[in-house]
Amino acid sequence: MITIRPAQERGDANFGWLESRHTFSFGNYYDPHHMGFASLRVINEDKVKPGQGFGTHSHRDMEIISYVLAGELEHKDSIGNGSVIRPGDVQIMSAGTGIAHSEFNASAIDPVHFLQIWILPQQTGIKPSYEQKYFTLEEKQGKLRLVASNDGRDNSVTIHQDANLYVAALNKGDLVNHNTDKNRSLWIQVAKGGVEVNGQILNTGDGAAITDEIEISLSATTDNTEILLFDLA
């Protein structure tokens, strides 16, 4: 079964310096019908103006992934990490017992556009950690590339949950398939472009919850399509 979450039905927030669209309930946006999906709790599409950002704030017991679509995102945290996240990078911050961090647009000229993703951990109270890896376009072009997993296989970043995150860069007509166990659930998020999923059309910003399907086929309907696929316990 495929249930589409249309982009235009997401929650939204506009603070001037930040425009955000919320796939699931977040902040002042509350929808009891969209509280998350399996262990996936947050998918926020954020656009931050030049030189602006999120000041230091704290998290605990959450796996937080940042995935930049355009621009540069500067990260600093209380366990000593400082980095700039760019397109192609996947950053995971395991908040565990508690971590404070800030995220700012690293440019004084250009906006930054990124996805903020939260996944519930299998176990609470773990030691906070941070990891960031770069995946080339060639690794994702025309294929699903594993970028996050619970065991760090295939050089993916490690997440403390039975969840696998794949990304793909597709041009019109490109076809990729994914097989999973009938007891698992899938979520597809279209970062840009368009894709047909088992006969259903998704476009930029759309998401889809997939259950009771052991095989899915994804065919790009436009060039420069970018998708994220979550395979969840």
What is the side-by-side order of every strand in the sheet holding 207-210? Answer: 2-5, 207-210, 185-192, 225-232, 163-170, 145-149, 157-158
The whole-model pTM stands at 0.97
pLDDT of residue 182: 87
Give the pLDDT confidence score for residue 124 in this predicted structure. Answer: 96
- 3-state DSSP assignment of residue 34: coil
Domain positions in the chain are 2-232
Domain range 2-232, CATH architecture: Sandwich (2.60)
Asked if residue 211 lies in contact with residue 181, where contact means CB atoms within 8 angstroms, the answer is no
Residues in the chain predicted with pLDDT less than 70, given as ranges, are none
